């Protein structure tokens, strides 16, 4: 993380609340026949949203675009299965869920696979916001979001400085 980048750590509790808030917002969008989680980051919010909205068909698409905090090419490591593509092709409503949209590169790649699907994320940064139909919280582009599965409980130095 560069020196002037802001840090936004998210606890499990907060992530659960924000994912539930996303489910509440999606309630107003009508029902969905299937959810596609963008693995890995989308797996947790997709499970929470699927539970809240009683969506039983849960599919994954595996996409990698970052190595730690360094962005690379979007690599699709696992495609969406044919039965779920058929749900969309036959007029069913598919919901795509990811943890966040940053530059929008991942969202663009997955949207191309399911052009009519509804795209939802918990967090959004300005560059990628246009790619998302529904999200909960916007953070600035120079903020790095730390998800609870990447965090551990650790010592924090006093605000005034020093070591104890």
Ligand X SMILES: O=P(O)(O)OC[C@H]1O[C@H](OP(=O)(O)OP(=O)(O)O)[C@H](O)[C@@H]1O
Residue ranges in contact with Mg ion by CB under 5 A: 41
Contact present, 87 and 59 (Cβ < 8 Å): no
59 binds ligand HPA (CB under 6 A): no
41 binds ligand X (CB under 6 A): yes
How would you classify the pairing of strands 94-101 and 34-39? parallel
148 binds ligand HPA (CB under 6 A): no
| Binding partner at 145 among Mg ion, ligand HPA, ligand X, none, C-beta below 5 to 8 Å by kind | ligand HPA
Annotate 79-138 with DSSP letters as a single string: PPPHHHHHHHHTT--EEEEEEEESSSHHHHHHHHHSTTSEEEEEEE-TTTGGG-SEEEEE
Query: What string marks each residue from 60 to 99 as x (binds ligand HPA by CB under 6 A) or -?
Result: ------x---------------------------------
Tokens of 112: 């191309």
User: Which one of 26, 37, 58, 145 is in contact with ligand HPA (CB under 6 A)?
Assistant: 145
Residue number, 29 or 137, with CB nearest to ligand HPA: 137
């Amino acid at each position: 993380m560069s020196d002037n980048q802001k840090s936004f750590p998210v606890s499990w509790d907060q992530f659960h609340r924000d994912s539930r808030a996303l489910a509440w917002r999606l309630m107003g969008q009508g029902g969905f026949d299937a959810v596609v989680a963008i693995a890995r980051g989308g797996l947790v919010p997709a499970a929470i949203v699927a539970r809240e909205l009683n969506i039983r068909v849960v599919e994954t698409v595996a996409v990698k675009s970052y190595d730690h905090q360094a962005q690379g090419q979007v690599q699709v490591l696992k495609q969406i299965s044919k039965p779920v593509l058929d749900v969309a092709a036959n007029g069913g409503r598919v919901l795509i869920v990811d943890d966040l949209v940053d530059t929008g590169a991942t969202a663009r790649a997955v949207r191309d696979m399911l052009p009519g699907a509804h795209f939802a994320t918990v967090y959004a940064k300005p560059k990628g916001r246009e790619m998302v139909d529904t999200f909960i919280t916007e953070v600035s582009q120079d903020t790095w979001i730390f998800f609870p599965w990447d965090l551990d409980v650790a010592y924090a130095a006093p605000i005034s400085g020093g070591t104890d």
